[in-house]
Every structure is written in C-alpha cells, then in structure tokens.
Structure 1
Amino acid sequence: MSSRTQLTLADDLLTLLRTTTTEPRHDEQLEALTVAVAADLPVLLWGEPGIGKTAALTQLAASLDLPLTTVIASVHEPSDFAGLPIVGEDPETRGVPMAPPQWAVELVRAGRGLLFLDELSTATPAVQAALLRVVLERRVGALRLPKGVRIVAAANPRASAADGWELSPPLANRFVHLHWVHDRDVVVRGLGGVWPEAELPRLEPEQLPDAVALARRAVCGFLTARPKLIHRLPTTETRRGGAWPSPRSWEAALTLLAFGTAASVSRDVLSLLVRGAVGDGPGLELLAHLERMDLPDPETLLADPPAAELPERGDQRQATLEAVVAAVEAWPERERWEAGWAVLVRALETGAPDLLVAPASALAALRRDDWEVPEAMERLAGVVGIALRAEESVAGARR
C-alpha cells in the first residue's frame, strides 16, 4: 500500500475523530455565555491552559451557525487592530485612511460571525490599547464591524500565561468576565463525541417590556441606595484586570439582568452574569437587592395586618419584617406602631417564632412614653422571650 494511500486513510481516521454531535444539557457557564452573546456584550473567558475555552467557542459558533474568526492577540501588532495608514492620491484633502486587516474585511463581507480574540492576557499593553476600539466601538481601522458580529475573548491568569500581562483597566472594564472551569461529565461525554448544545436564550415578546422595566428599577434603585458603588476602581493591579463597577459595567449588568429575566434563567446563571460585569461584591449586593424587590410592600402590610401575606422562606420573611419595622421608624406614629405589632402577630400565626426576636426588639425600642402597650405586644412577649432565651442557651453552649 502506497504512502499516499496511508495518508488518505490517516485523514479519514482524523475526520472520524473530529466528527462530534451535540445534546441538550444543563450547563450554567455555557448558558451564561450564550446569554451574554445574545445581549451583544463582549465576553472574556478566564481559565487555565487546556481547560477547553477554545473548544467551547468552536462548539458555540457551530451551534449558533456563526462563522468563527480566531485572532491570536499576542502575535499581532497594534496596527493590526488600529489599521495601517495608506497614502492615497491627495492626502491633504482626502486624509490618510487606515486600512483594516483581512480578517476584519471578511467579517464585514459576511455580515455576521463570532470574533474570538484568544490569548488576551499575553498581548502587550500597546496591543491591548489598540483593542479598546475593537471591543467597545467595534471599529478595526476604518471599518465598523456589523451588528451580526459577536465578540468573545479568552485569557489565562497571569501566573499560568506565557509572558503574561495583567489586563489594563480600560480594556477589562469593557468585558463581561466569566471564569471557565472544566466539568468532568462534560469532558467525558465530549471525548466520547457528544458535547453540550449551545442554545440562544428563548425570549418571549410579551415579557420584554417587563424585563426592561425590572432591570432599570433594580439597578437604579440599588445605585440610589449605594451611590459609592457607581464607580469603584480596585486598588490592586490584578483586580483592575477583572470585573469592577463603573457606569459602563453597570449598563452591562442592566442589559444582562433584562436578558436573564426575559429568558427566565436560573439565579445561579444570573449571578455569573451580573458578577461578571461589576464584580463579586457589587454583583451579589445587586442580587440581594433584587430579591428584596420581590418582597411585600411594608406599607401594604401595615395598612391591613390581618390579611398580610408573608413569604414562606425564612430569610425573605425576616427581611420583610425588618422592612416593616424600618417603615414604622421612618414615620413613627402610634397607629403605625400598633399595626407593626399586628403584622408580627400575623407572622407568629403563620411561621416560626424565632424570626420575631430581632424585629420585635427593634419595634419595642420605638415606643414613646405616652403610647400604651398594645395587646399584640403582650401576646408576643412570652413567645419572643422563650425564643430569645433559647438563642442565648445555644450561644452559651457553643462557648
């Protein structure tokens, strides 16, 4: 058998090895990636070398039927992204246009695609600076990338990157940062020829206005209460190269919140997206604020305590009762104070008494000297006292 025949058979074998299929499979990090891609936000996948970031992007492009254009950022010069000056016939009147690279021209011709900027953490600061316009303004030289082009990048942590650099804060703040980790079952199934199927989020037309309204209300309400988080540049170089809060990244978080709500993603997926935009701390605070938005209005509870419907989950019930006490404290009147005790009685009738210790103590501290002790307060005194003594007993046993 000739050498040419052997090479042909070798190619056939390689084709069989590279032929894979996909299957529907719950994968939170892949779902977060597809939501961010649908939202047309630049995504940066962080992960150790060989973790499967490139393979995931290849599968994503194939599943979404998008042509994949891979650009290794570390082997390019700044001019490859900013464009090379081309002198024409009359530069004094026509100027000097910046000629884009071939890969950008092909993306514009296609009108759609997935631009994969690989090895971003090994790109020099000069190249990172040139990438700013590509990522934010979607401009490469004199060309503007069409709306059908999505941008995803990948990077290794500096400690495991070859001649790695920290990402510059301006470039890092333009990305949604997702930390990519391998899943044992996904790897085993993938090596067996079956990878998870990447699907764009299913958006329902009637849910879009409500999703936008919720996202705007959540982010604006949170930043009104926490104005210091509108812009907080991290103090360390490493953290500046990740997700951190700024007006730009809050806009991204708002967009992701709207898309995640419209697509009814899980809280875990929403957490990956929001924290990937503004950082872990601010992102978790926003999610906690979002949960509190679903709690009953304390003024509604105070207006009709016997009909109060309180959350069943313990942490939500605790937050609701604390909100009722805060509402009374903000507008302290005898009738409202007594209504607060009536709400606590309603909580006693429908839930565990141990959740009443803190709000009952706080509400009792709001009493004015000329306010008589209501019957509801007397009814709660015994139960709250027993719960309080039980807590003290447990705390003493732990010492």
Structure 2
Amino acid sequence: MTKNDSVRTALALAVRADLPVLLWGAPGTGKTSAVVALGRQLDLPVEVVVGSVREPGDFAGLPVVRQEGTWFAPPRWAERLASAGSGLLFLDELTTAPPAVQAAMLRVVLERAVGDLVLPEGVRIVAAANPPDLAADGWELSAPLANRLVHLDWEVSPVDVADGLAHGFPEPDAVRVVPPSRAGVAAAKARVGAFLRVRPELVLAVPGTPERAGRSWPSPRSWEMAAIALAAGEANAATEAGVAALVIGAVGEAAGFELLSWLRTLDLPDPETLLDDPDAPLPDRADRLHALLGGLVAHVVADGGAVTWERAWTVIGRVSKTTPDVAAASARTLAANRPAGAGLPSALLDLAPILRSAGLMP
C-alpha cells in the first residue's frame, strides 16, 4: 500500500465520520480529482469552491433587505447543497485565500453556516491547500481554522505518475465505509480521556509559531476529532496506517504517535467478556482502569438494557476497592443513564460512600 492509499482510506473514513479534512499537497498532484472521485463513489454531489477567487461575502452571505429585516443571502453553491440534502463541499486553495476570507470560511467549517443558510447534516467538508511556500501570494492558515481540520499530506509517487501517463490513470478502488456508532465513539473518547489523564500537558499545546499553528496541534477539540477517527477506523476494520494518518492529522505527530503507542499497550478485555465473568482479571494501572470502565459504560449505555446496567455495577464495585476515584467517575455516568425498570443491585450498597462523594446520593 502506498502512502496515498492510506491517505485515501483516511479521507473516506473522515468523510463518513463527518470530520472536516484538509489535504496538503503541491499544485497539480490530483487532490481535486481524488475528492471528486470519492464523491462519485459515495454517491455524493461535489461542490468545488476556490478560496483564492472568493470574497468574504461568498461565505458570510450578501445582505439583502426584506420586509422582515435583512437576510444574508447564501451563494448558489450553498443553495445547491442545501437542496440536495447531502454532498461534499470542497474548499480549494485555502492558503491562497487572504485572512479575511479564511475568517469567513471558519464559520462554514465550525457552524456549517453560509450566510443565513445552515447546510444539512449530510454535507461533508473537505479542503485542500498548497504549502505557503508553493502557493502564489500564499498565507499561513489561521490557527483557529487549522485546529478545526484534520490535516493529511497528499504526496505523488513518481512510479504511479509514470504508469498513469503510459497506461492511463485508473479510477481508485470503490470505497465502502460506514460511520462509527455512538457507542464506538463514546468508547474511543473514554480511551483518549484515559490517555490524557496520564499526559495532561498534552490536552492543549498551542504552537508558538504561525507556521506550526497552521497545521495540526493538540486541543480539546482536536482530541475529540482523534477519538472519532479511532472509532471510525474500528467500525471499518481500517488499516493501522489509515487510522494513524487521521489521528496524527488531528493532534499532530508528537501527540498522535504517543497516543497510538499508548493504545497498543492497553490490551483491555471486551466489555461483554467482563460482564459475563465477574472474576475476570482487571488492569492494575489507573489509566488502564479509566479506559476499561469508560468503554464498559459506553457499551452499557448503548445496550440500554436493565440487566446489563445492573451487572456493570459489579465491575465498578470491584474497581472501587482499589481505586475509588476511578470508580466514582464511571459511577456518575452509569447512574445518570439508568434504564427504565432497572433495579438497584446489591453492589450499589458497597458503593454508597463513592456515590456520595460523586454527589449522586444524599
């Protein structure tokens, strides 16, 4: 598998998981063609909007006076996406868009709003940019906009180009991906949260230079995107390289590699196995226990069954005997998601002091 195969996989996963993506690459390397092909494979209409030839009003909307007040009218491309109900919005040449245009595009990425029009949930956002040193009149990407995107590096293989010129450029293999489930995302967030308990200094690490701030870096927002990327990879049994590209693209190389290395050492039991075997061995490290209980609670909440909910308290009770602070965090979430008709298991009596400390019992 070439590097661009991993990037194509990462791009497809991100689109299905509704993660905004930015492809970095030199001009003329096929970024637009790849996005258009992906839209065709996913049966999504594609709207290409070139930032370098747009004005802020093309994203913030143009004021139109009406009887009931002023309406910020969206451009035609936004109306077409809204009418279709789904699609790919491809924002090209971000680094050749001046700061005022980037600021207007920020609201599109963050709030999915174009003027007074809100794009449907079925619209996905993909962007592309040339490195500033390769872009005519290039600008560094603003830090707020950069931190709302997953950054992927698009490279060209000389062999692929040579073969394509000689024999034609083949259509990429059809992409079949599914979005991650809510339970999968919740479990992935629990694992990422457990990692950040070990490395709290990585929760927010704003780069000190405009060049680095214009790429991926750790923040609460980008860690959430990394968790969604992990869940998307697991839902599709994606390659490790594809998932790694997304995680690193969300939080940067240093933080991303550290998270991925930490995850490889977890080796946690499956939640169903843990619920079926109350005596199953538990990890002895607090960070692994946080990840274990987070995944267990996510599984129980997604299941929604009273029996599963009651059985989970036995596991939390075991953890409370060695690390009550870890048990309290999961007990709070589990108690807040009690299914209708669920009884109070005897394990809750042993957990009374922990529940009081968590504010869940008088």
What is the rounded CA distance, in whole Å, between the counterparts of 2:163 and 2:26 in structure 1?
20
Q: Deviations over 1:33-78 (max 9, x none)?
A: 1000111111000001111111111211121121111111111110
**Residues 161 and 246 (structure 1 numbering): CA distance in 2 closer, same or farther, change over 3 Å?**
same
AA paired with 1:182?
A: V
Matched to 2:61, the amino acid is G
Match of 1:233 in 2: 206
| Secondary structure in structure 1 of the residue aligned to 2:171 | strand
1:163 is paired with a residue whose SS is coil
- Structure number with larger C-alpha Rg: 1
What residue in structure 2 maps to residue 242 of structure 1? 215
| Bigger share in helix | 1
The corresponding residue for 2:153 is 179
Structure 1 CA distance for aligned equivalents of residues 188 and 132 of structure 2: 34
CA deviation string 1:191-234 (max 9, x = no partner): 4142212413257xxx9466335412320111111111111110
- The answer to whether the aligner puts 1:259 opposite 2:232 as a matched pair is yes
- TM-score normalised by L of structure 2: 0.70
**Which of 139, 155, 171 is residue 195 of structure 1 equivalent to?**
171
CA contact (8 A) 1:68 1:116 kept: yes
In the alignment, structure 1 residue 57 sits paired with structure 2 residue 35: yes
Partner of 2:124: 150
AA aligned opposite 2:29: I
Aligned to 2:22, the other structure's residue is in SS state strand
Task: Tell me, in whole angstroms, the C-alpha distance in 1 between the residues paired with 2:125 and 2:283.
Answer: 50
How far apart, in 1, do the equivalents of 2:53 and 2:18 lie? 26
Alignment of 1:89-100 (within 5 A): 89=67, 94-100=68-74
Structure 2, unpaired ranges of 5+ = 270-279, 285-321, 323-362
**Unpaired runs of 5+ in structure 1?**
1-24, 304-330, 332-399
Cα shift at 1:264: 1.3
1:345 counterpart residue number:
none
Equivalent residue, structure 1, for 2:18: 40
Aligned-pair identity in percent equals 55
Partner residue of 1:73 out of 43, 51, 59: 51
Q: How many residues align?
A: 271
Whole-Å separation in 1 of the counterparts to 2:112 and 2:194: 31
- The CA RMSD measured in Å over matched residues stands at 2.4
Shift of 1:183: 2.8
Give the deviation of 1:184 after TM superposition: 4.0
Counterparts of 2:230 and 2:124, CA distance in 1: 19
Tell me, yes or no, if structure 1 residue 117 matches structure 2 residue 91.
yes
Deviations 1:304-349 (A, max 9, x none): xxxxxxxxxxxxxxxxxxxxxxxxxxx9xxxxxxxxxxxxxxxxxx
* 3-state SS in 1 of match to 2:204: coil
- The answer (yes or no) to whether the contact 1:59–1:198 under 8 Å persists in 2 is no
- 2:100 match: 126
1:46·1:155 contact (CA, 8 Å) conserved in 2?
A: yes
Equivalent positions of 1:284-299 (< 5 A) are 284-294=257-267
TM-score of the two chains, using structure 1 as the length reference? 0.64
| 3-state DSSP of counterpart to 1:195 | coil
- Counterpart residue type for residue 244 of structure 1: W
Which of 77, 81, 84 is 1:107 aligned to? 81
Q: 2:62 aligns with which of 81, 84, 88?
A: 84
Q: Is the contact made by 2:39 and 2:46 (CA closer than 8 Å) also made in structure 1? A: yes
